[in-house]
Structure 1
Amino acid sequence: MSSKSSKKLTRAAQADRHVLYQKSVQCPEAEIEFFEKTFNELRGRDALSIKEDFCGTAYLATEWCKGDPARTAIGVDYDKETLAWGQKNNVDAAGADVAKRITLIQDDVRNVTEPSVDIVCAFNFSYCLFEERDELIDYFRQTRASLKDDGLLILDLFGGTECADVLEEETEIEDEGATYVWEHVSFNPINNHMACAIHFDFDDGSRLDNAFTYEWRLWAIPEVREMLEEAGYTNVRIYWERFEDSEDDEDEMEGTGEYYEITEAENQESWMIYIVAEPV
């Protein structure tokens, strides 16, 4: 009698990279809270429609529409496989009432400007893949064409003194028995081109290597502001995270998740900001 030996699959081999990404990188609740607060403060009304450029799995678009039955969302991304995963696991899984208010489009984000919306957003630094100034200005012009007259463009951006360093940062993913690893693979100070990667380490010793990889330009805040103005935006606001003393280490500061508008800041090892641009 013969038997076949089976080899147990590792955690990495069984992992769904999109699930891990959503749990470790994205926080739609915080982003939606920022949308609600900022749009109401600047426009005096509630935002009801968004276009999520570089939407990936449309996690943010789905959570946005789940928050209010009057809300709608458009998600645009070039990656067919990722959009299909998001349609099945986020949009359709949210139920028919939510799904009917979300439209996913596979296309270059610069090609989709209709229908006009209250908010266009591009998060997780995705627009930084436009590494040439003319390319990024053209994208910003298209976002402006996508907005209603009183709409807002909302971006995020990262920076800090550590950004040019080759490094790895690890963060445990709650209830997953896994660790999120963010790596700065390389940085070229001549043109600010950088390569980054996301890996996931598991408690069985396995690793999902290069689950996501990125090649982009590390744009500076003044550069982005100037390009937005050149693209036709009249007022560009910078929102910085409020920090407070850490309860665990008196020499450390920790972010509160609360963002406020500033015109001057002290540089830090690492920061993530929101940029809000008004077309009028």
Structure 2
Amino acid sequence: MLYQMAVQNPESEIDFVDRTFKRVRGRAASVIREDFCGTAYSSCAWVRRRKTNRAIGVDLHLPTLRWGERHNLSTLTEEQRSRVTLLHRDVMKVGGEGRGVDAVLAMNFSWFYMTERRALVAYFKSVRESLVDDGVLFMDIYGGYEATKEQVEKRRERGFKYVWDQAKYDPISGMQTAHIHFEFKRGPAMKRAFTYIWRLYSLPEVRDALMDADFKRVTVYWEGDDGKGGGNGVFRPATRGESCASFVSYVVAEK
């Protein structure tokens, strides 16, 4: 629950997916697949949006899926729950139930776990095969010159502090070790609540990998500036970006 409160914003994410799909394809998306879905937070947001929407969540970690069933799917109506399918599977082996979707979402940098480029390209190819003819893959990515810095950042949330700990970075392999901690006014901190050992890919790397997987068009959506050194939450297509300390962007790949 703390992770969802501090890190995820499914409504904003779904707003972007819904709006962008309609802009690039001229129609509304109906069926999405949420890869590495964890607690299926975004899948739940998707089926709430329209009665015609369906969501398929795929994750390899069964306890996390079960947590999502108890805490997220339980907030849906019975009719909404009937439009969510959770698959306890590897995203590379989704089977027929995970195919024929309008859009695939690979968010929260989860695809960084594919640390070998050939594995990443293979994943992109499998996604492409799972999409309908005019399907779209949506991903997010973070970077900037502070992304590789070994540092700790804290942010106050309601009732706790969220701590992002970039513990280790190897510039040769691109591998990064990072942790999320939670601190409280009372009681002990929750150290290393989550640990990530992944490859910090660059935008050119992921764009090239997507093109090698035969996606026809790959577009980076860059976030605007709020005038105070931060992002304004508005993402627009861009071919050039600013050399900034940190950024989060969307990558949209059209089949």
Q: In the alignment, what sits opposite 2:201?
A: 219
Structure 1 residue corresponding to 2:58, chosen from 59, 76, 88? 76
Gaps of 5+ in 2: none
Residue identity (%): 41
Q: Measure the CA separation in 2 of the matches of 1:191 and 1:120.
A: 28
Q: In the alignment, what sits opposite 1:119?
A: 103
The one-letter amino acid paired with 2:17 is F
Q: In the alignment, what sits opposite 2:113?
A: 129
Structure 1 residue corresponding to 2:78, chosen from 82, 87, 96? 96
The one-letter amino acid paired with 2:147 is C
Q: Following TM superposition, where does structure 1 have runs of at least 4 consecutive aligned residues deviating by more than 2 angstroms?
A: none
Q: In the alignment, what sits opposite 1:159?
A: 143
Structure 2 residue corresponding to 1:258, chosen from 209, 218, 234? 234
Any idea what SS the aligned residue of 1:56 has? coil
Alpha-carbon displacement from aligned partner over 1:184-208 (angstroms, at most 9, x marks no partner): 0100011110001101000115201
Q: Measure the CA separation in 2 of the matches of 1:146 and 1:199.
A: 36
Q: In the alignment, what sits opposite 1:232?
A: 214
Structure 1 residue corresponding to 2:9, chosen from 27, 37, 50? 27
The one-letter amino acid paired with 2:142 is F
The one-letter amino acid paired with 1:273 is S
Q: Measure the CA separation in 2 of the matches of 1:276 and 1:245.
A: 26
Q: In the alignment, what sits opposite 1:141?
A: 125
Structure 2 residue corresponding to 1:172, chosen from 153, 156, 168? 156
Displacement, 1:93? 2.5
1:189 aligns with 2:165: no
Q: In the alignment, what sits opposite 1:15?
A: none
The one-letter amino acid paired with 1:263 is T
Q: Measure the CA separation in 1 of the matches of 2:56 and 2:74.
A: 14
Q: In the alignment, what sits opposite 2:92?
A: 110
Q: In the alignment, what sits opposite 2:34?
A: 52
Q: Measure the CA separation in 2 of the matches of 1:54 and 1:233.
A: 21
Q: Measure the CA separation in 2 of the matches of 1:85 and 1:182.
A: 23
Q: Measure the CA separation in 2 of the matches of 1:130 and 1:144.
A: 17
Any idea what SS the aligned residue of 2:47 has? helix
Any idea what SS the aligned residue of 1:238 has? strand
Q: Measure the CA separation in 2 of the matches of 1:263 and 1:62.
A: 33
Any idea what SS the aligned residue of 1:47 has? coil
The one-letter amino acid paired with 2:22 is N
Gaps of 5+ in 1: 1-18, 247-252
Q: Measure the CA separation in 1 of the matches of 2:26 and 2:216.
A: 18
Displacement, 1:88? 1.4
Displacement, 1:167? 0.7
**Matched length:** 253
The one-letter amino acid paired with 1:277 is A
Displacement, 1:240? 0.4
Alpha-carbon displacement from aligned partner over 1:165-197 (angstroms, at most 9, x marks no partner): 1111111112xx101101101000111100011
Q: In the alignment, what sits opposite 2:250?
A: 274
Q: Which has the larger radius of gyration?
A: 1
Q: Measure the CA separation in 2 of the matches of 1:186 and 1:79.
A: 25
Displacement, 1:26? 0.2
Displacement, 1:254? 2.2
Displacement, 1:66? 0.8
